[in-house]
Amino acid sequence: MQPRQTDHSLSPISELSDSQKVAACLSTGIKPVVSAIMPTFGRPELVSESVAMFLAQDYPQKELIILNDCDGQIFRFDHPQVRVVNQSQRYATLGEKRNACIKLAEGEVIAVWDDDDVYLPWRFSDAVSEMLSRQGSWALPRTG
């Protein structure tokens, strides 16, 4: 059960490791891309509101990865910052499902984005500002 893979070949920064990308953001002052990961199962009434809260974030460099593994339930959303992956087979654990989301993520920062939580519009901007002010003491490289 493999989610759709993204082709990074067109982006020259894709040749850098995750830790090198974070270091580049810190040294240049460029704000990192935040990848919000949202595993979901059988709760369509929550997904629309959660996507709306994501799009209302005042931080522009972001993406939302929605991983839905509810057989027979298909989500579609047409927005460049929202990627939906529908799977017919359920993941064994939430941890396995979150890890699959992380593998799909393209950003330097991973944010958990649960479908049943409420997020204020400045969540990402405040978090990134705080991380950048700490000069990278928060950064841990992702491994394969």
Looking up residue 109, the CATH number of its domain turns out to be 3.90.550.10
DSSP 79: B
Strand order in the sheet with 34-40: 82-86, 62-68, 34-40, 109-112
Whether residue 113 has pLDDT greater than 90: yes
- Tokens 């890890």, residue? 99
Structurally, the chain folds into a number of domains equal to 1
What pLDDT score does 21 carry?
62
- Domain interval for residue 106: 32-133
On the question of pLDDT at 107 being above 60, the answer is: yes
pLDDT band with cut points at 50, 70 and 90 for residue 5: very low
Q: Is 77 domain-assigned?
A: yes
Residue type, 99: N
User: Is the pLDDT confidence value at 12 over 90?
Assistant: no
CB atoms within 10 A of CB 44: 13
Is residue 1 pLDDT above 50, yes or no? no
Q: Which token pair is 135?
A: 């000069």
Rounded to whole angstroms, how far apart are CA atoms 48 and 66? 11
Report pLDDT for 134: 77
Query: pLDDT value at position 13?
Result: 45
**Mean pLDDT over the full length of the chain:** 82
